[in-house]
Amino acid sequence: MRIVKLTDETRADILSTLLKRSPNQYTEYEETVAQIVEDVRQKGDEALFDYTQKFDHITLTPDNVRVTDEEISQAYREVDPELLKVIRSALDNIRSYHEKQRRYSWFDSKENGIMLGQKITPLQRVGVYVPGGKAVYPSSVLMNVVPAKVAGVSQIVMTTPCRDGKVSPNTLVAAHEAGVDVIYKVGGAQAVAALAHGTKTIPRVDKIVGPGNIFVALAKKAVYGFVGIDSIAGPSEITVLADETANPRYVAADLLSQAEHDELASAILVTTSPELAEAVTEEVKGFLKELSRADIIRKSLEQYGFVLLVNSLEEGVQVVDQIAPEHLEIVTKNPFDTMTRVHNAGAMFLGSWSSEPLGDYFAGPNHILPTNGTARFFSPLSVDDFVKKSSIVYYSEEALREVHTQIETFAKAEELTAHANSVAVRFEEDSVWQG
């Protein structure tokens, strides 16, 4: 990893380098994705199955595209019993955390005949995209499905690519345990298009959530507006903010936990300690001799791996806020105090024992997080993503009579005569509106 003494110039260069990983930079693929989405919108299942044959070399029909009860039963026979126990424990933690996010409708009544409120309504049907190509992530199944179930979504439809006509048993078991209603063996941009527009086989959903490759990300971007989406996810990233108290071996291991995702992942250490910086780079070299995905990690670190030396913890916090990382580990003398000064991070892990994979798999908070600096304005996936809020307004005749001239005056100021008339017509005897 490159050790860089941070200056205004090097900071700008590094931030520019990191932003190149954003899906918004891959415009050369947008035309291809747009064509796939439009074909599926126009031709439905025909295009969906043709693209699946073209890209995944799988022959699907309306009769075999849906995962059957027998396939799910077979998955339970194949999954490691110990993994099943872990999935169920993780589910308990994730469900417990998200239940605390549950929203309720509220109404506020006043004595003069006014009632205002907010009605919470779960989405009716949600589509969950689950990767199934180079890697399989049953943990992402849990993280996407559980908040939707807690929110009260009526139907959860999952799509995932298959290998040789078969979906990963781990994915199927995780989906069944979490409460997915129906699963389809399709992936890629064509699956996103099918969820967004509907086909004869796959129903149209209200919102699409879940990570995927660049084609999936761009397809979600393309269908936004026809349906809701969670976010346009970019490559994984971790930033560790540490001082001289941090254990370099732990820090190195945590940085590599995200670098192994893919060549575009970023791993950054921000530290006030030159000694820690040197020690971490040495530990990284040692781990690379042992880890199974070392080739991917090396490419990731060559492009997006940095050790940034700062003059003070305050400067370190400023750098973190500029990066706005997906995952932030804070390993300082007082991580709780440091945490209060950070504004931009998807998830924060405090202290030496809160390793980032704890959040990926088990602790309970959602691991679907904002990437590529979008933690400046986005939040982790939550129950809020699966409900709608409707404003409720009730005024009695007496209540409206007290304020109708004020409303008419406001409407007149904006030259919206129909607005003024809508209120004035109810009180023509004393209206300030004369048409």
Residues forming the active site:
326-327
At residue 415, what are phi and psi to the nearest 5 degrees?
60, 35
Structure tokens given for 43: 């031709």
Task: Please state, in angstroms and rounded to a whole number, the distance separating the CA atoms of residues 306 and 239.
Answer: 9
Task: Please state, in angstroms and rounded to a whole number, the distance separating the CA atoms of residues 180 and 395.
Answer: 42
Residue located via tokens 């192994």: 260
Helices (H), 137-207: 138-151, 169-178, 188-197
3-state secondary structure of 184: strand
Structure tokens given for 384: 């809020």
Answer for the pair 369, 267: CB distance below 8 angstroms, yes or no: no
Structure tokens given for 108: 């506020």
CA angle 278/283/289 to nearest 5° reads 140
- Going by the DSSP 8-state scheme, the letter that residue 332 receives in this structure is S
At residue 274, what are phi and psi to the nearest 5 degrees?
-60, -35
At residue 311, what are phi and psi to the nearest 5 degrees?
-80, -25
Helices (H), 248-348: 248-259, 274-288, 294-304, 313-323, 335-341
Residue located via tokens 């559980």: 146
The CA-atom distances, in angstroms, between 75 and each of 69, 83, 168, 170, 184 are 10, 12, 8, 7, 15
Helices (H), 313-381: 313-323, 335-341, 356-361
Residues 6+ apart with CB under 8 A from 31: none
Q: E strand or H helix at 219, and its extent?
A: helix 214-223
Strands of 387-395's sheet, edge to edge? 106-110, 114-122, 387-395
User: b/e string for 287-304 if b means 16 or more Cβ within 10 A?
Assistant: ebeebeeeebbbbbbeeb
